[in-house]
Amino acid sequence: MSFFGFRIAREYERCLIFILGRYKGIKGPGLFWSWPFITRVEKVDIRVNTVDVAAQDTVTRDSVTIKVNAVLYYRISDPKKAVLEVANYQSAIYQIALTTLRNVIGQNNLDEVLNDRDKINLQLKEIVDKITDPWGLDVQMVEMKDVEIPIAMQRAMAKEAEATREKRARIIKAEGEAEASQKLAEAAEAIAKSPAGLELRRMQMITEVGAENNTTTIMLLPSDFVNLASQLTKKIEKELEKDKKI
């Protein structure tokens, strides 16, 4: 806004004053006056701005082609440098972010890109901030948004994850069997020391089986009982034979 040389700059704006083409200083925020006709005022927004880095094909260190996009947050810390030191600071910071993203991704493996995003984002921020600092730009943050992986690589990663899960399941099963065999060995040792414990366990098993709705119940008898019954049968048969002879 200009009325007889009076101008107004908003709270988030700074105005660079050029008189007859020469830089004379910065005005704002608020109301200020400048020479009419011979003064050019260039306003600069000092709020945080965003730059969307378009998705681009990038090759990782392990030769995997992926598509990555990012977003960059920056603000103008020195309006004078932002206008005088670079022709178009918005285009310049976009190009720097674009090339830096490609270079940093190329220095990392695919697993690092997927799992260490925070580290890569910090690395991107430090590099871009260092380059743009002479231009009066302060990079607040750089964030990778999406990482697109080729379909063939997605299938390979899915197979690898499935194989890892299967391996983990087999290990857990083997550990369970080892623990079970150890417990069985301890139980066998305890029963060997107290044979009566085996009979009690058999009786308990019969009770448990009887509690179920089964039509057939199998009872396990100790071999000693079977041998004793066989000996008694033979003895009775001998006694009967003797009686017949008499």
Question: In the block, which residue shows the tokens 């709020």?
Answer: 47
Displacement of CA 143 from its chain's centroid (Å): 16
**pTM for this prediction:** 0.62
Mean pLDDT of 238-245: 69
Sign of CA dihedral 138, 140, 146, 150: positive
Question: Rounded distance, CA 27 to CA 32, Å?
Answer: 7
Would you say residue 238 has pLDDT above 80?
no
* Residue 73, φ and ψ in degrees, nearest 5: -115, 130
CATH topology of domain 49-149: Tetrahydropterin Synthase; Chain A (3.30.479)
Residues of the chain with CATH 3.30.479.30: 49-149
What tens digit of pLDDT does each residue of 47-103 get?
999 999 888 888 888 888 889 999 999 999 999 999 999 999 999 999 999 999 999
- Does the pLDDT at position 2 exceed 60? no
Residues 116-159 have pLDDT tens digits of 889 999 999 999 999 999 999 999 999 998 888 877 766 766 77
Residue 219 pLDDT level (bands cut at 50, 70, 90): low
